[in-house]
Structure 1
Protein backbone atom coordinates (compact mmCIF):
# COMPACT_ATOMS: atom_id res chain seq x y z
CA UNK A 1 0.00 0.00 0.00
CA UNK A 2 3.02 2.32 -0.04
CA UNK A 3 3.34 2.20 -3.83
CA UNK A 4 0.28 3.92 -5.09
CA UNK A 5 0.23 4.63 -8.78
CA UNK A 6 -1.99 5.39 -11.72
CA UNK A 7 -5.16 7.40 -12.12
CA UNK A 8 -5.52 10.45 -9.96
CA UNK A 9 -3.66 8.93 -7.05
CA UNK A 10 0.08 9.27 -6.42
CA UNK A 11 2.41 7.74 -3.87
CA UNK A 12 3.94 9.62 -1.00
CA UNK A 13 6.04 8.77 2.01
CA UNK A 14 5.60 6.06 4.59
CA UNK A 15 6.04 7.19 8.17
CA UNK A 16 7.04 4.92 11.00
CA UNK A 17 5.80 5.80 14.45
CA UNK A 18 8.19 5.61 17.35
CA UNK A 19 6.20 2.70 18.70
CA UNK A 20 6.87 0.62 15.61
CA UNK A 21 3.36 0.90 14.15
CA UNK A 22 3.52 1.61 10.45
CA UNK A 23 1.70 4.75 9.33
CA UNK A 24 0.99 4.84 5.61
CA UNK A 25 0.19 8.02 3.75
CA UNK A 26 -1.30 8.37 0.32
CA UNK A 27 -2.45 11.47 -1.46
CA UNK A 28 -4.01 12.67 -4.67
CA UNK A 29 -7.34 13.79 -6.04
CA UNK A 30 -8.98 10.48 -5.20
CA UNK A 31 -6.76 8.98 -2.53
CA UNK A 32 -6.56 9.45 1.23
CA UNK A 33 -3.94 11.60 2.85
CA UNK A 34 -2.98 11.83 6.49
CA UNK A 35 -3.96 14.95 8.38
CA UNK A 36 -3.78 16.20 11.91
CA UNK A 37 -1.04 15.96 14.48
CA UNK A 38 0.19 12.93 16.35
CA UNK A 39 -2.57 10.96 17.95
CA UNK A 40 -5.24 12.21 15.54
CA UNK A 41 -6.52 8.69 14.88
CA UNK A 42 -6.97 7.94 18.57
CA UNK A 43 -8.71 11.27 19.17
CA UNK A 44 -11.03 10.66 16.23
CA UNK A 45 -11.87 7.16 17.49
CA UNK A 46 -12.78 8.61 20.86
CA UNK A 47 -15.11 11.11 19.17
CA UNK A 48 -17.22 8.52 17.32
CA UNK A 49 -20.81 8.18 18.45
CA UNK A 50 -21.65 4.94 20.26
CA UNK A 51 -24.93 3.11 19.61
CA UNK A 52 -26.12 -0.46 19.36
CA UNK A 53 -25.91 -2.34 16.09
CA UNK A 54 -29.14 -1.94 14.12
CA UNK A 55 -30.77 -4.99 12.49
CA UNK A 56 -29.36 -6.16 9.17
CA UNK A 57 -32.92 -6.26 7.84
CA UNK A 58 -33.18 -4.77 4.37
CA UNK A 59 -29.47 -4.94 3.57
CA UNK A 60 -28.55 -5.76 -0.02
CA UNK A 61 -25.41 -4.92 -1.99
CA UNK A 62 -27.61 -3.16 -4.54
CA UNK A 63 -28.54 -0.63 -1.87
CA UNK A 64 -25.04 0.76 -2.47
CA UNK A 65 -25.42 0.93 -6.25
CA UNK A 66 -23.82 -1.01 -9.06
CA UNK A 67 -20.47 -2.45 -8.02
CA UNK A 68 -17.43 -0.38 -8.96
CA UNK A 69 -19.25 2.58 -10.48
CA UNK A 70 -17.03 5.28 -12.01
CA UNK A 71 -18.15 7.94 -9.55
CA UNK A 72 -15.01 10.05 -10.05
CA UNK A 73 -15.70 10.22 -13.83
CA UNK A 74 -12.16 9.29 -14.87
CA UNK A 75 -13.45 6.66 -17.37
CA UNK A 76 -12.04 3.78 -15.28
CA UNK A 77 -14.21 1.78 -12.89
CA UNK A 78 -13.44 1.95 -9.19
CA UNK A 79 -12.00 -1.57 -9.00
CA UNK A 80 -9.39 -0.82 -11.65
CA UNK A 81 -8.62 2.53 -10.02
CA UNK A 82 -7.70 0.73 -6.79
CA UNK A 83 -5.71 -1.97 -8.58
CA UNK A 84 -3.74 0.75 -10.36
CA UNK A 85 -3.17 2.52 -7.05
CA UNK A 86 -2.12 -0.49 -4.98
CA UNK A 87 -0.32 -2.87 -7.35
CA UNK A 88 3.06 -2.61 -9.02
CA UNK A 89 4.45 -4.02 -12.29
CA UNK A 90 1.08 -3.34 -13.91
CA UNK A 91 -0.05 -4.66 -17.27
CA UNK A 92 -3.18 -3.53 -19.09
CA UNK A 93 -5.52 -4.57 -21.86
CA UNK A 94 -7.05 -2.03 -24.21
CA UNK A 95 -5.53 1.14 -22.81
CA UNK A 96 -4.60 2.12 -19.27
CA UNK A 97 -7.76 1.23 -17.33
CA UNK A 98 -8.25 -2.51 -17.46
CA UNK A 99 -5.56 -4.05 -15.23
CA UNK A 100 -4.72 -7.61 -16.29
CA UNK A 101 -1.63 -8.25 -14.16
CA UNK A 102 0.17 -6.81 -11.16
CA UNK A 103 1.91 -7.58 -7.88
CA UNK A 104 0.55 -6.82 -4.44
CA UNK A 105 3.81 -6.64 -2.54
CA UNK A 106 3.24 -6.89 0.28
CA UNK A 107 -0.40 -7.64 0.86
CA UNK A 108 -1.25 -5.44 3.86
CA UNK A 109 -3.50 -8.03 5.53
CA UNK A 110 -1.15 -11.03 5.39
CA UNK A 111 2.25 -9.51 4.64
CA UNK A 112 2.70 -11.90 1.68
CA UNK A 113 3.39 -11.12 -1.97
CA UNK A 114 0.32 -11.83 -4.09
CA UNK A 115 0.17 -12.00 -7.88
CA UNK A 116 -2.90 -10.52 -9.51
CA UNK A 117 -4.14 -11.94 -12.81
CA UNK A 118 -7.49 -10.77 -14.11
CA UNK A 119 -10.16 -13.45 -13.88
CA UNK A 120 -8.57 -15.19 -10.89
CA UNK A 121 -9.70 -14.27 -7.40
CA UNK A 122 -6.36 -14.00 -5.61
CA UNK A 123 -6.80 -10.27 -5.00
CA UNK A 124 -9.93 -8.65 -3.56
CA UNK A 125 -10.80 -4.99 -3.30
CA UNK A 126 -11.93 -4.79 0.30
CA UNK A 127 -14.27 -2.24 1.81
CA UNK A 128 -12.33 -1.36 4.95
CA UNK A 129 -15.67 -0.55 6.57
CA UNK A 130 -17.81 -3.37 5.25
CA UNK A 131 -21.01 -2.24 3.54
CA UNK A 132 -23.14 -4.50 5.72
CA UNK A 133 -21.49 -3.08 8.83
CA UNK A 134 -22.14 0.44 7.54
CA UNK A 135 -25.79 -0.46 6.87
CA UNK A 136 -26.23 -1.51 10.49
CA UNK A 137 -24.54 1.64 11.83
CA UNK A 138 -26.28 4.41 9.97
CA UNK A 139 -26.17 3.82 6.21
CA UNK A 140 -29.65 2.27 6.26
CA UNK A 141 -31.03 5.78 6.75
CA UNK A 142 -28.96 7.57 4.10
CA UNK A 143 -29.91 8.83 0.68
CA UNK A 144 -28.80 6.39 -2.06
CA UNK A 145 -26.19 8.85 -3.36
CA UNK A 146 -24.33 8.71 -0.04
CA UNK A 147 -24.33 4.91 0.02
CA UNK A 148 -22.98 4.84 -3.56
CA UNK A 149 -20.25 7.27 -2.53
CA UNK A 150 -19.18 5.10 0.41
CA UNK A 151 -19.04 1.96 -1.75
CA UNK A 152 -16.70 3.63 -4.24
CA UNK A 153 -14.63 5.92 -2.02
CA UNK A 154 -10.87 5.20 -2.29
CA UNK A 155 -10.59 6.10 1.39
CA UNK A 156 -12.62 2.95 2.12
CA UNK A 157 -11.01 0.63 -0.44
CA UNK A 158 -7.84 -1.44 -0.46
CA UNK A 159 -6.43 -4.27 -2.58
CA UNK A 160 -5.78 -7.33 -0.40
CA UNK A 161 -5.21 -11.07 -0.46
CA UNK A 162 -8.56 -12.65 -1.31
CA UNK A 163 -8.25 -15.67 0.98
CA UNK A 164 -7.39 -13.53 4.01
CA UNK A 165 -10.14 -11.06 3.21
CA UNK A 166 -12.81 -13.75 3.00
CA UNK A 167 -12.26 -14.44 6.68
CA UNK A 168 -13.18 -10.86 7.53
CA UNK A 169 -16.75 -10.97 6.25
CA UNK A 170 -18.55 -7.88 7.52
CA UNK A 171 -16.59 -7.78 10.76
CA UNK A 172 -15.71 -4.56 12.55
CA UNK A 173 -12.62 -3.90 14.68
CA UNK A 174 -14.14 -5.79 17.61
CA UNK A 175 -14.49 -8.99 15.60
CA UNK A 176 -11.68 -8.94 13.01
CA UNK A 177 -8.19 -7.49 12.59
CA UNK A 178 -5.58 -8.23 9.90
CA UNK A 179 -3.31 -11.16 10.77
CA UNK A 180 -0.39 -8.88 9.82
CA UNK A 181 0.00 -7.15 13.19
CA UNK A 182 2.28 -4.42 11.80
CA UNK A 183 -0.63 -3.16 9.68
CA UNK A 184 -3.27 -3.02 12.40
CA UNK A 185 -2.70 0.60 13.41
CA UNK A 186 -3.03 1.74 9.79
CA UNK A 187 -6.09 -0.46 9.28
CA UNK A 188 -7.93 0.75 12.36
CA UNK A 189 -7.07 4.37 11.59
CA UNK A 190 -8.62 3.89 8.14
CA UNK A 191 -11.82 2.47 9.67
CA UNK A 192 -12.01 5.41 12.06
CA UNK A 193 -11.46 7.87 9.21
CA UNK A 194 -14.25 6.37 7.10
CA UNK A 195 -16.72 6.25 9.99
CA UNK A 196 -15.92 9.83 10.96
CA UNK A 197 -16.16 11.11 7.37
CA UNK A 198 -19.56 9.50 6.78
CA UNK A 199 -21.01 9.93 10.27
CA UNK A 200 -21.32 6.22 11.00
CA UNK A 201 -21.56 5.15 14.61
CA UNK A 202 -19.71 2.36 16.42
CA UNK A 203 -20.72 -0.11 19.08
CA UNK A 204 -19.20 0.15 22.54
CA UNK A 205 -17.17 -3.01 21.94
CA UNK A 206 -15.95 -1.64 18.62
CA UNK A 207 -14.75 1.65 20.10
CA UNK A 208 -12.97 -0.21 22.89
CA UNK A 209 -11.23 -2.42 20.31
CA UNK A 210 -10.24 0.59 18.18
CA UNK A 211 -8.70 2.38 21.14
CA UNK A 212 -6.93 -0.78 22.30
CA UNK A 213 -5.10 -0.90 18.97
CA UNK A 214 -4.48 2.83 18.62
CA UNK A 215 -3.01 3.34 22.10
CA UNK A 216 -0.13 1.12 20.95
CA UNK A 217 0.70 3.69 18.23
CA UNK A 218 -0.09 7.06 19.84
CA UNK A 219 1.41 9.03 16.94
CA UNK A 220 -0.89 7.43 14.37
CA UNK A 221 -2.34 10.08 12.07
CA UNK A 222 -5.79 10.01 10.54
CA UNK A 223 -6.22 9.33 6.80
CA UNK A 224 -8.39 11.77 4.88
CA UNK A 225 -9.31 12.62 1.31
CA UNK A 226 -11.06 10.29 -1.07
CA UNK A 227 -14.20 11.17 -2.98
CA UNK A 228 -17.12 13.44 -1.99
CA UNK A 229 -19.75 11.85 0.26
CA UNK A 230 -22.43 12.22 -2.41
CA UNK A 231 -22.20 10.43 -5.76
CA UNK A 232 -23.15 12.24 -8.98
CA UNK A 233 -26.87 12.28 -9.69
CA UNK A 234 -26.56 9.97 -12.70
CA UNK A 235 -25.91 7.00 -10.38
CA UNK A 236 -28.81 5.09 -8.87
CA UNK A 237 -29.28 2.56 -6.08
CA UNK A 238 -32.32 0.66 -4.86
Structure 2
Protein backbone atom coordinates (compact mmCIF):
# COMPACT_ATOMS: atom_id res chain seq x y z
CA UNK A 1 0.00 0.00 0.00
CA UNK A 2 1.32 3.42 -0.89
CA UNK A 3 1.69 5.83 2.03
CA UNK A 4 1.68 9.51 1.08
CA UNK A 5 4.71 11.55 2.10
CA UNK A 6 4.13 14.23 4.76
CA UNK A 7 4.06 17.81 3.51
CA UNK A 8 7.43 19.43 2.89
CA UNK A 9 7.03 21.90 5.76
CA UNK A 10 6.31 19.03 8.17
CA UNK A 11 9.47 17.21 7.09
CA UNK A 12 11.50 20.38 7.51
CA UNK A 13 10.06 20.95 10.98
CA UNK A 14 10.87 17.38 11.98
CA UNK A 15 14.42 17.76 10.68
CA UNK A 16 14.87 21.05 12.53
CA UNK A 17 13.61 19.56 15.79
CA UNK A 18 15.90 16.56 15.37
CA UNK A 19 18.89 18.86 14.79
CA UNK A 20 18.06 20.91 17.87
CA UNK A 21 17.72 17.78 19.99
CA UNK A 22 21.05 16.49 18.71
CA UNK A 23 22.74 19.81 19.49
CA UNK A 24 21.28 19.82 23.01
CA UNK A 25 22.41 16.25 23.62
CA UNK A 26 25.90 17.07 22.36
CA UNK A 27 26.10 20.09 24.68
CA UNK A 28 25.09 17.98 27.66
CA UNK A 29 27.56 15.23 26.82
CA UNK A 30 30.48 17.61 26.27
CA UNK A 31 29.79 19.98 29.17
CA UNK A 32 32.80 20.50 31.40
CA UNK A 33 33.10 21.63 35.01
CA UNK A 34 34.29 25.00 33.65
CA UNK A 35 30.71 25.59 32.49
CA UNK A 36 29.39 25.41 36.05
CA UNK A 37 28.92 28.84 37.60
CA UNK A 38 26.42 30.32 40.04
CA UNK A 39 23.16 31.65 38.61
CA UNK A 40 22.16 35.25 38.06
CA UNK A 41 25.54 36.68 37.01
CA UNK A 42 24.95 40.01 35.21
CA UNK A 43 26.70 41.00 32.03
CA UNK A 44 29.22 43.84 31.98
CA UNK A 45 26.66 46.53 31.14
CA UNK A 46 24.35 45.52 33.96
CA UNK A 47 27.26 45.21 36.38
CA UNK A 48 28.44 48.74 35.58
CA UNK A 49 24.93 50.09 36.17
CA UNK A 50 24.68 48.24 39.48
CA UNK A 51 28.13 49.45 40.55
CA UNK A 52 27.12 53.04 39.84
CA UNK A 53 23.99 52.59 41.98
CA UNK A 54 25.86 51.38 45.07
CA UNK A 55 26.66 53.68 47.99
CA UNK A 56 30.35 54.36 48.54
CA UNK A 57 31.35 54.98 52.15
CA UNK A 58 34.02 53.85 54.63
CA UNK A 59 33.60 50.31 56.00
CA UNK A 60 31.68 49.96 59.23
CA UNK A 61 32.77 48.55 62.56
CA UNK A 62 33.39 44.84 63.10
CA UNK A 63 32.09 45.13 66.67
CA UNK A 64 29.78 42.24 67.46
CA UNK A 65 30.74 40.21 64.40
CA UNK A 66 30.73 36.43 64.51
CA UNK A 67 30.23 33.84 61.81
CA UNK A 68 27.53 32.47 64.08
CA UNK A 69 25.52 35.59 63.24
CA UNK A 70 25.17 34.09 59.74
CA UNK A 71 23.76 30.57 60.29
CA UNK A 72 25.14 28.16 57.66
CA UNK A 73 25.09 25.61 56.17
CA UNK A 74 21.36 25.07 56.51
CA UNK A 75 19.59 21.91 55.32
CA UNK A 76 16.79 22.14 52.77
CA UNK A 77 15.04 19.00 51.48
CA UNK A 78 17.75 16.82 52.97
CA UNK A 79 20.71 18.66 51.42
CA UNK A 80 22.96 21.18 53.13
CA UNK A 81 23.82 24.35 51.25
CA UNK A 82 27.39 23.12 50.83
CA UNK A 83 26.17 19.87 49.30
CA UNK A 84 23.78 21.71 47.00
CA UNK A 85 26.56 23.94 45.64
CA UNK A 86 28.89 20.98 45.09
CA UNK A 87 26.16 19.16 43.17
CA UNK A 88 25.32 22.28 41.14
CA UNK A 89 28.90 23.26 40.28
CA UNK A 90 30.28 19.79 39.57
CA UNK A 91 30.14 17.31 36.72
CA UNK A 92 29.75 13.54 37.04
CA UNK A 93 28.97 14.00 40.73
CA UNK A 94 28.56 10.77 42.68
CA UNK A 95 26.60 10.82 45.94
CA UNK A 96 26.86 8.56 48.94
CA UNK A 97 23.97 6.07 48.85
CA UNK A 98 20.73 7.55 50.12
CA UNK A 99 22.20 11.00 50.77
CA UNK A 100 23.11 14.36 49.20
CA UNK A 101 26.77 14.01 50.16
CA UNK A 102 29.08 14.13 47.12
CA UNK A 103 31.88 11.59 47.29
CA UNK A 104 33.41 12.03 43.83
CA UNK A 105 33.08 14.11 40.69
CA UNK A 106 34.84 16.77 38.63
CA UNK A 107 35.02 20.37 39.80
CA UNK A 108 36.70 23.31 38.11
CA UNK A 109 37.89 26.12 40.38
CA UNK A 110 37.81 29.29 38.24
CA UNK A 111 39.64 31.32 40.90
CA UNK A 112 42.91 29.50 40.22
CA UNK A 113 42.19 27.52 37.03
CA UNK A 114 42.47 24.11 38.71
CA UNK A 115 40.39 20.93 38.51
CA UNK A 116 39.57 18.63 41.41
CA UNK A 117 37.96 15.22 41.88
CA UNK A 118 37.80 15.02 45.67
CA UNK A 119 35.06 17.20 47.22
CA UNK A 120 37.02 17.47 50.47
CA UNK A 121 39.57 19.61 48.59
CA UNK A 122 36.92 22.21 47.79
CA UNK A 123 35.46 25.07 49.79
CA UNK A 124 32.21 26.90 49.16
CA UNK A 125 33.18 30.53 48.87
CA UNK A 126 30.90 33.35 49.91
CA UNK A 127 31.75 35.68 47.03
CA UNK A 128 31.02 38.61 49.35
CA UNK A 129 32.47 37.23 52.61
CA UNK A 130 30.34 37.21 55.73
CA UNK A 131 32.67 39.64 57.51
CA UNK A 132 32.63 41.95 54.48
CA UNK A 133 28.85 41.82 54.52
CA UNK A 134 28.86 42.74 58.22
CA UNK A 135 31.02 45.84 57.76
CA UNK A 136 29.02 46.98 54.74
CA UNK A 137 25.53 46.81 56.21
CA UNK A 138 24.65 43.29 57.36
CA UNK A 139 25.27 44.24 60.99
CA UNK A 140 21.87 45.94 60.90
CA UNK A 141 20.03 42.97 59.41
CA UNK A 142 17.82 40.46 61.17
CA UNK A 143 19.26 37.02 61.81
CA UNK A 144 16.90 35.60 59.16
CA UNK A 145 18.27 38.01 56.56
CA UNK A 146 21.83 37.02 57.44
CA UNK A 147 20.86 33.34 57.14
CA UNK A 148 19.51 34.04 53.66
CA UNK A 149 22.73 35.84 52.68
CA UNK A 150 24.92 32.98 53.94
CA UNK A 151 22.96 30.28 52.11
CA UNK A 152 21.86 32.08 48.93
CA UNK A 153 21.59 29.67 46.00
CA UNK A 154 19.64 32.09 43.82
CA UNK A 155 22.31 34.74 43.15
CA UNK A 156 26.04 34.71 42.43
CA UNK A 157 26.94 34.59 46.15
CA UNK A 158 28.13 30.97 46.45
CA UNK A 159 30.65 29.07 44.32
CA UNK A 160 32.70 25.89 44.73
CA UNK A 161 36.43 26.65 44.51
CA UNK A 162 39.70 25.16 45.66
CA UNK A 163 40.22 25.33 49.40
CA UNK A 164 43.59 27.01 48.84
CA UNK A 165 42.13 29.91 46.85
CA UNK A 166 39.24 30.41 49.25
CA UNK A 167 41.49 30.51 52.28
CA UNK A 168 43.96 32.89 50.66
CA UNK A 169 41.02 35.23 50.03
CA UNK A 170 39.73 35.19 53.61
CA UNK A 171 37.40 38.14 54.13
CA UNK A 172 39.24 40.52 51.78
CA UNK A 173 37.46 42.66 49.21
CA UNK A 174 38.71 43.12 45.61
CA UNK A 175 40.99 46.01 46.60
CA UNK A 176 43.09 43.49 48.56
CA UNK A 177 42.41 40.15 46.87
CA UNK A 178 41.49 39.07 43.36
CA UNK A 179 41.42 35.56 41.86
CA UNK A 180 44.90 34.40 40.77
CA UNK A 181 43.39 33.48 37.38
CA UNK A 182 43.27 36.90 35.72
CA UNK A 183 40.86 35.70 33.02
CA UNK A 184 38.22 35.33 35.74
CA UNK A 185 38.52 38.91 37.02
CA UNK A 186 35.67 40.21 34.88
CA UNK A 187 33.22 37.52 36.00
CA UNK A 188 34.34 37.81 39.63
CA UNK A 189 33.68 41.55 39.60
CA UNK A 190 30.25 41.01 38.04
CA UNK A 191 29.41 38.44 40.72
CA UNK A 192 30.65 40.61 43.61
CA UNK A 193 28.84 43.73 42.40
CA UNK A 194 25.57 41.86 41.88
CA UNK A 195 25.54 40.42 45.40
CA UNK A 196 26.17 43.83 46.93
CA UNK A 197 23.47 45.33 44.73
CA UNK A 198 20.86 42.68 45.55
CA UNK A 199 21.52 43.00 49.29
CA UNK A 200 21.92 46.80 49.21
CA UNK A 201 25.37 46.68 50.79
CA UNK A 202 27.86 49.54 50.64
CA UNK A 203 31.40 49.54 49.31
CA UNK A 204 34.45 51.60 50.09
CA UNK A 205 36.30 53.74 47.56
CA UNK A 206 39.27 51.41 47.08
CA UNK A 207 36.90 48.49 46.56
CA UNK A 208 34.87 50.47 44.02
CA UNK A 209 38.02 51.48 42.12
CA UNK A 210 39.26 47.87 42.03
CA UNK A 211 35.91 46.63 40.71
CA UNK A 212 35.92 49.29 38.00
CA UNK A 213 39.39 48.18 36.92
CA UNK A 214 38.31 44.53 36.89
CA UNK A 215 35.33 45.35 34.68
CA UNK A 216 37.74 46.98 32.25
CA UNK A 217 39.12 43.48 31.62
CA UNK A 218 35.77 42.24 30.32
Q: Smaller-chain TM-score range?
A: 0.7 to 0.9
Match of residue 141 from structure 1: 140
Match of residue 212 from structure 2: 211
| Equivalent residues in 2 for 1:94-105, closer than 5 Å | 94-95=97-98, 97-104=100-107
Match of residue 162 from structure 2: 161
TM-score by length of 1: 0.72
| Equivalent residues in 2 for 1:116-135, closer than 5 Å | 116-117=118-119, 120=120, 122-135=121-134
CA distance in 2, matches of 1:54, 1:95: 45
| Equivalent residues in 2 for 1:45-124, closer than 5 Å | 45-65=51-71, 67-70=72-75, 73-95=76-98, 97-104=100-107, 106-117=108-119, 120=120, 122-124=121-123
Structure 1 residues 131, 62: closer, same or farther in 2, change over 3 A? same
Say whether the 8 Å CA contact 2:44–2:190 is kept in structure 1: no
CA distance in 2, matches of 1:38, 1:163: 28
Say whether the 8 Å CA contact 2:109–2:162 is kept in structure 1: yes
Say whether the 8 Å CA contact 2:109–2:115 is kept in structure 1: yes
Deviation at 1:55, TM superposition (A): 1.5
Structure 1 residues 178, 32: closer, same or farther in 2, change over 3 A? same
Larger radius of gyration: 2
CA distance in 2, matches of 1:87, 1:49: 35
CA distance in 1, matches of 2:36, 2:91: 17
CA distance in 1, matches of 2:36, 2:201: 23
1:33 and 2:21 aligned: no
Say whether the 8 Å CA contact 1:25–1:34 is kept in structure 2: no
Count residues in correspondence. 184
RMSD: 2.0
Match of residue 182 from structure 1: 183
Structure 1 residues 161, 38: closer, same or farther in 2, change over 3 A? closer
| Equivalent residues in 2 for 1:183-202, closer than 5 Å | 183-202=184-203
CA distance in 2, matches of 1:206, 1:38: 17
Higher relative contact order (CA 8 A, sep 6+): 1
CA distance in 2, matches of 1:84, 1:96: 12
Say whether the 8 Å CA contact 1:25–1:32 is kept in structure 2: no
5+ unaligned residues in a row in structure 1: which ranges? 1-10, 15-23, 218-238
Match of residue 9 from structure 2: none
TM-score by length of 2: 0.78
Deviation at 1:38, TM superposition (A): 5.5
Q: Which has the higher helix share?
A: 2
5+ unaligned residues in a row in structure 2: which ranges? 1-27
- Three-state SS of the structure 1 residue aligned to 2:123 is strand
